[in-house]
Structure formats: C-alpha cells, structure tokens
Amino acid sequence: MPTPPNPAALPLVPLPTLADPTDATAPHVLLVYTGGTVGMAVNAAGELAPMELSRLDGQMPELARLPLRVSLLSLPEPIDSSNVDPADWLFLAQLIGTHYAGFDGFVVLHGTDTMAYSAAALSYLLEHLGKPVVFTGAQVPVGARRSDAPRNLVTALEIAAARHPRAGTVRVPEVGVFFNDVLIRGTRAKKVESQQFAAFKSENYPPLARAGIGLYFSDKSIRRLPTAPLRVHQRLETSVAVLHLFPGITAAVVEAVLGVPGLRGCVLATYGSGNAPTAAWFTESLRQARARGVWLLNVSQCVEGRVVQGKYETSAALASLGVVGGDDITTEAAVTKLMFVLGLGLGEAHTRQLLGENLRGEITP
C-alpha cells in the first residue's frame, strides 16, 4: 500500500441489511476491505487481481438478511495479500483504534495467503482488545459461481456482533480468523491449503468457535474480557529474518542470513522439538549473531508439538547460546512477535522475558 491516508478520512459506506441504519440498538460492525481473492476479478491479462470497492458493494445479497448494521470501509488501493507489509498492519491497527468506540466488532476482508501473519500482527498491536476483530476472505471471488465468500463473510459478521446470551457481554474479545466454518485464534492460524475451502488450521490450540446449523462457541478457549482499555501499539521492528534449516545447509547460507547488516531478530526454523546441527561452525555462527545483538527464536518446523530445548543433545547448546525457545508458537506468530517485541525497544532482560512469555495466546505455557 502506498503512503497510508489518515484512517479517519476514509469514507464509511452503510450496506443494506435487515437492520434499520438509524436504529442505534442494532449491533454495528465495521467491515474493512483490504483486498484478496474475495474481491478479485480476472484482469485483461487473465490473472486474478484485486478490484475496487464499488464492484464489491452489491455482490453480497445475503447481507440483506442480517439483523446488524454493517458499514463498509475500503483501503484506497486493495491488494493481493502477498504484498502486505508491516506498515499495512500498523495502519490497520490505527484504523481499528480510530473506530473502536463506534462499533461492536470488526471484520477484515483479507487475502488468505498472509492472513495468518496479519491476524497475528494485529493480535500483538491491539493490546487489551475487548471487541472481536475477525479476519476472513475466500478461495473463490465473491460473485463467482460456488464462491465461499458469502458463507465466510456472513458468519464472520455474526461472530463480530456476538454477545453472551445471558450476560450480554462481548463473546469473542480477540483477533480471529474465520474460514470454512471454523474460528481460529489469530496467533494460532496457519494457511494449509490453496485449493480446498478449508484453507486454515488451528495450530496447537482448539478452535474458538464452529459454525454449523448454529454458532457453537468454545467459551473456555476464548480469552476473557480485558480489564484495561485498548492500547494500540505503533511500532514494529522490520529487520527480522527466518532461517529455515535443512540437511546440507552450509555455513555460507547461515552466515548470509544471520549476517544481514542491522538484523535484530531471526526465527530459527528447527527440526522436531527444536533440534539443530551440532557442528562447530553452526554453533559459532549462532554465537556470533548473538554477540552482535541478534535475537534468535527457536520455532519447530513441525505443525504440531513444541520446542523443548535440551530434550535432545542436538538442542542442548541452544539455550546456553541465548536462543529463546518458542514453545508451540507458529512461524507466523513468531515472526510478528519478534517484530512487535523488538519494536518495543526494551532492555535485554525484558526483551528476553517477553519473547519467551505468552503475550496473546500464541504459546501454551
């Protein structure tokens, strides 16, 4: 996205729903359109590319049956989510902060490719979140035959407006990803499928809700309402990297990644329960990176399970080198956690503590 505009200046378009737009008692959801397949059409070259809001509006007649007020806000230039970057996350966080008081919940229409990264980033940036922020999208564009967009969008809007039937309090005060009938915590989502409708998996944590004939919330898995007001963070450290290990990786590859000038943090994508080569050159590369102040976060390449540094001889040296164990965090939540925590600009001990701690439900302590 080019230079972000002032979020307060972006126009809100009320969508036709069952609710009277002037009825202040009807739940009000802000639908933020950022791009993605959900809003794409085939361009002159025969490729799928994002289309403008004007073409999206009116394509979802299902909304007319929703007893909610829905206002649509589009980013000025919708993108394929492969182009998303940390500046977009800061802008989205600011946008939600700007409209926080005026809405009951938020739905972000986003491409599926990097949705898990964006949902994790927003989870960190929106501290003490007390309202739902539900990311959704589609594998087939809205308006196309057999699109999954209406089904994903209608339920995402319902979740964003959901309240406990008796207490009347917000049901999901979290950032989540709703896709193919499953609501996943934002810091636990992983895109696992590019052809089928079930595009996301909840890694190492149960889904927060499922949609069937009704909406079934798993209240014990959902975070409690915060006791402090929302705090929108406005800094991310972007000088981070991921070093994905593979048998045969050479010293030149490891040093090229860890030696990036100005690098502040790196996710080490290790084997199994956090294991890595024990060759002296490898250990020495990590030691030198640490000595240059690079934070190393150990994340397993396995989709399930957790990092336990010291369980095997092949991970024993990592902790003493100062590598932080990532427990059962996803790579998506780890990259964005490094950006967030390093962006806070804290001292050594506090940074280490936050990197290892459960901040937004991203690890099971």
Which range, of 34-42, 90-98, 238-246, 291-299, touches ligand ASP by CB under 6 A? Answer: 34-42
Cβ atoms < 10 Å from Cβ of 2: 7
Name residues whose C-beta falls within 8 Å of residue 258's C-beta, 6 or more positions apart in sequence. Answer: 241, 243, 266, 285, 286, 288, 289, 294
Q: Which is nearer to ligand ASP, 109 or 243 (CB)?
A: 109
- Annotated binding residue 81: yes
Nearest to 12 by CA among 31, 28, 34, 25: 31
Q: Is 82 in the site for ligand ASP (CB under 6 A)?
A: yes
* 17, 81, 155, 309: residue in contact with ligand ASP (rule CB under 6 A): 81
- Rounded to the nearest whole angstrom, what is the least distance from the CB of residue 137 to ligand ASP in the complex? 5
Which range, of 33-41, 257-265, 276-284, 328-336, touches ligand ASP by CB under 6 A? Answer: 33-41
* 37, 59, 71, 330: residue in contact with ligand ASP (rule CB under 6 A): 37
Contact between residue 138 and residue 148 where contact means Cβ atoms under 8 Å apart: yes
Q: Is 361 in the site for ligand ASP (CB under 6 A)?
A: no
Which range, of 35-43, 225-233, 237-245, 348-356, touches ligand ASP by CB under 6 A? Answer: 35-43
- Annotated binding residue 327: no
Q: Is 80 in the site for ligand ASP (CB under 6 A)?
A: yes
Give the bridge partners for 79, in sequence order: 35
Which range, of 12-20, 107-115, 211-219, 301-309, touches ligand ASP by CB under 6 A? Answer: 107-115
- Rounded to the nearest whole angstrom, what is the least distance from the CB of residue 40 to ligand ASP in the complex? 7
- What is the spatial distance between Cα 223 and Cα 225, in angstroms, rounded to a whole number? 7
Per-residue binding letters, 108-147, with ligand ASP (x by CB under 6 A): ---xxx-----------------------x-x--------
- Closest chain position to ligand ASP (CB): 111
Our measurement of the distance from residue 194's CA atom to the centroid of its chain's CA atoms, rounded to an integer in Å, reads 17
Burial 259-282 (b: 16+ CB within 10 A, else e): eeeebbbbbbbbbbbbbbeeeeeb
Q: Which residues are catalytic?
A: 37, 112
Contact between residue 275 and residue 315 where contact means Cβ atoms under 8 Å apart: yes
- What is the spatial distance between Cα 331 and Cα 268, in angstroms, rounded to a whole number? 9
- What is the spatial distance between Cα 137 and Cα 281, in angstroms, rounded to a whole number? 45
- Rounded to the nearest whole angstrom, what is the least distance from the CB of residue 277 to ligand ASP in the complex? 34
How many residues make contact with ligand ASP (CB under 6 A)?
11
Cα-Cα-Cα-Cα dihedral sign, residues 282, 283, 288, 294? positive
Q: Is 74 in the site for ligand ASP (CB under 6 A)?
A: no
Which range, of 52-60, 79-87, 160-168, 344-352, touches ligand ASP by CB under 6 A? Answer: 79-87
Q: Which is nearer to ligand ASP, 196 or 320 (CB)?
A: 196
Q: Which is nearer to ligand ASP, 94 or 139 (CB)?
A: 139
Given its phi and psi angles, is residue 198 left (phi above 0), alpha (psi -120 to 50 degrees) or beta? beta
DSSP tally for the chain: helices H, then strands E: 9, 19
| DSSP string for residues in 261-323 | TT--EEEEEEBTTTB----HHHHHHHHHHHHTT-EEEEEESSSSS---TTSSHHHHHHHHHTP
Q: Is 152 in the site for ligand ASP (CB under 6 A)?
A: no
Nearest to 143 by CA among 46, 30, 42, 73: 42
- Annotated binding residue 112: yes
- What is the spatial distance between Cα 38 and Cα 140, in angstroms, rounded to a whole number? 6
- Rounded to the nearest whole angstrom, what is the least distance from the CB of residue 88 to ligand ASP in the complex? 12
Residues that constitute the known binding site for substrate: 81, 112-113
Residues that bind ligand ASP (CB under 6 A): 35-37, 80-82, 111-113, 137, 139
Residues that constitute the known binding site: 81, 112-113
